[in-house]
Amino acid sequence: MSGTRRVLVTGGAGYIGSHTAKALARAGHIPIVLDDLSNGHAEAVRWGPLVIGDVRDVEAVRRCIHDHAVDSVIHFAGLIEVGRSVREPDAFWDYNLNGVAAVLQAMRASGVSRLVFSSTAAVYGQPENGSLEPLGETLPLLPINPYGDTKLAAERLIAAYARAYGIQATALRYFNACGADPEGDLGEAHDPESHLIPLAIEAALGLGPALTVFGGDFPTPDGSCVRDYVHVSDLARAHVLALEADPGPDGFAAMNLGTGRGYSVLEVIAAVSRTVGRATPHAMGARRSGDPASLVADPGRAQRGLRWRPRYTDLDEIVATAAAWRRRPAFGPGLADVLSEVA
Ligand SMILES: NC(=O)c1ccc[n+]([C@@H]2O[C@H](COP(=O)([O-])OP(=O)(O)OC[C@H]3O[C@@H](n4cnc5c(N)ncnc54)[C@H](O)[C@@H]3O)[C@@H](O)[C@H]2O)c1
């Protein structure tokens, strides 16, 4: 199919979903957002209608598809915080697996076959003790926490629907999503925030506590963990491309989305200090259980299959977009700091 798509974006009021809705609109498509606003922001939905509802409700999803003549779905909605998934596995299995099951049932009932799914590098678990090699999609899938378990189970359910019912699906396995819309319309507005770059920026700006670096004795060049930081606008663009990609004869493909270049936690802290122009207060702490030394993508499959290449490869540039957002957020928890500054 070419031309304008009418795309159901579940979780489109959240961080990555809202950036993707903007990218869809820029590419000439119509995003229809379905979100329960449990962790998203109505102000982030500016490029198409917002339907407030629960993605686990098959009838609500089916109605949304029908009322808005939807022809494709991008499924972001779900719970995302790894630590919480260990404390509340019941909620994670419910939201993340019943959510995708309801989307698939509603798609099948409505004759909609094109799906792009938010997956994660967490499906790889803790690859090879101490390995610093980039991770390809053919590695064993051995998640080590309930969050990763639910995402892998969701991928498998989608693959089974693809084989049995002709769904055409691409699962995109993001590494560390980061940064903000370069035009300042959107950014990361999680409450509580658990991601490194926004927490480091808050610490540097004096808006949050000093950062704890979890582990300084990993087998990496400076001893801190290495991760692959991929800009949210690059992720958004990959979703638009994935809508048109051919997932192959099985109707299902999984692809890594990362830059292929890793940065250590201490390198991120240095980049934040340079970009914000102030030292980032931080202290070294113990390792967290289950944190691998290095998680860096081999993005070759997405580069070939989607003709996708991240535009943001420079860490300082990525951090600069996130810092600009944190200084002037258009919505979200950080807005209170801006308003109190003005008052
Ligand atoms: N942020 C990352 O680094 C990262 C990395 C890998 C994968 N992912 C995946 O990407 C997706 C989006 O992540 P994000 O960072 O934008 O998260 P987010 O929390 O900002 O967005 C998720 C959105 O889903 C909505 N939602 C949750 N449960 C819902 C339900 N039952 N019905 C309707 N809406 C519901 C929330 O309100 C929120 O707006 C998630 O599936 C996440 O697992 C994120």
- Which atom of ligand 1 is found nearest the CA of 151? 43
**pLDDT given at position 118:** 98
Supply the residue whose CA is at minimum distance from atom 20 of ligand 1: 14
What per-residue confidence (pLDDT) applies to 343? 52
On average, the pLDDT of the chain sits at: 95
Closest Cα to atom 23, ligand 1: which residue? 11
Q: What does the pLDDT read at residue 338?
A: 67
Question: From CA 78, how far away is CA 76, in angstroms rounded?
Answer: 6
pLDDT at 233 over 70: yes
pLDDT at residue 334 in the model: 83
Which of 8, 9, 10, 15, when mutated, tests ligand 1's pocket best, judged by the most ligand atoms within 8 Å of its CB? 15
Per-residue pLDDT at 341 = 62
Q: Is 229 a catalytic residue?
A: no
pLDDT, tens digit, 9 for 90 and up, residues 126-176:
887 556 789 999 999 999 999 999 999 999 999 999 999 999 999 999 999
Distance in Å, CA 123 to ligand 1 centroid: 16
Tokens of 40: 């998203």
Element spanning 283, H or E: strand 282-285
Please tell me if the CB atom of residue 20 comes closer than 6 angstroms to any atom of ligand 1. no
Does CATH number 1.10.3720.10 belong to domain 196-227+261-334? no
279: tokens are 């030292």
176 lines ligand 1 (CB under 6 A): yes
User: Ligand 1 centroid vs 279 CA: distance in angstroms?
Assistant: 31
* Residues in CB range of 80: below 8 A, 6 or more apart: 39, 147
Q: Which of 15, 95, 124, 147 is catalytic?
A: 147
CA-80 nearest atom, ligand 1: 43
Closest CA to 151 of 53, 88, 55, 82: 82
Q: Report the nearest atom of ligand 1 relative to the CA of 188.
A: 20
- Residue 327 pLDDT > 70, yes or no? yes
d(CA 236, CA 310): 10
What is the predicted pLDDT for the residue at 129?
55
Closest CA to 148 of 169, 119, 170, 177: 119
| Residue 118 CB less than 6 A away from ligand 1 | yes
Phi, psi of 308 (to 5 degrees): -110, 130
* Res 336 pLDDT > 80: no
- Ligand 1 atom at minimal distance to the Cα of residue 13: 39
CA of 76 to the centre of ligand 1 (A): 5
Domain extents in the chain = 6-178+229-257, 196-227+261-334
Q: Is 91 close to ligand 1, i.e. is its CB under 6 Å away?
A: no
| 173-189 confidence digits (pLDDT tens) | 999 999 999 999 999 99
If we measure between CA atoms, which residue out of 269, 192, 286, 193 comes closest to residue 229? 269
Instruction: Report CA-CA distances (Å) from 107 to 84, 86, 126, 169.
Output: 30, 31, 34, 12
CB 292 less than 6 A from any atom of ligand 1: no
Q: Determine how many CB atoms are found less than 10 A away from the CB of residue 19.
A: 28
Tokens of 18: 């809202």
Please give, one letter per residue, the 3-state secondary structure of 296-331.
CECCHHHHHHCCCCCCCCCHHHHHHHHHHHHHCCCC
**Ligand 1, closest atom to CA 174?**
6
Q: pLDDT tens digits for 36-65?
A: 999 999 999 999 999 999 999 999 999 999
Does the beta carbon of 188 sit less than 6 angstroms from any atom of ligand 1? no
Rg (C-alpha) for the chain, rounded Å, is 19
pLDDT in the model for residue 184 = 97
pLDDT tens-digit map of 67-123: 999 999 999 999 999 889 999 999 999 999 999 999 999 999 999 999 999 999 999
* pLDDT value of residue 339: 65
Helix (H), strand (E) counts: the chain: 12, 14
Q: Could you tell me how far CA 328 lies from the centroid of its own chain?
A: 22
192 pLDDT tier (thresholds 50, 70, 90): confident
Torsion, Cα of 215, 219, 225, 227 (10° steps):
-170
CATH of domain 6-178+229-257: 3.40.50.720
What's the CA gap between 199 and 308, in Å, rounded? Answer: 29
Condensed to tens digits (0 to 9), the pLDDT of residues 263-302 reads 999 999 999 999 999 999 999 999 988 788 999 999 999 9
- Specify the 3-state DSSP secondary structure of 35: strand
Phi, psi of 252 (to 5 degrees): -140, 135
Per residue in 196-219, pLDDT tens?
999 999 999 999 999 999 999 999
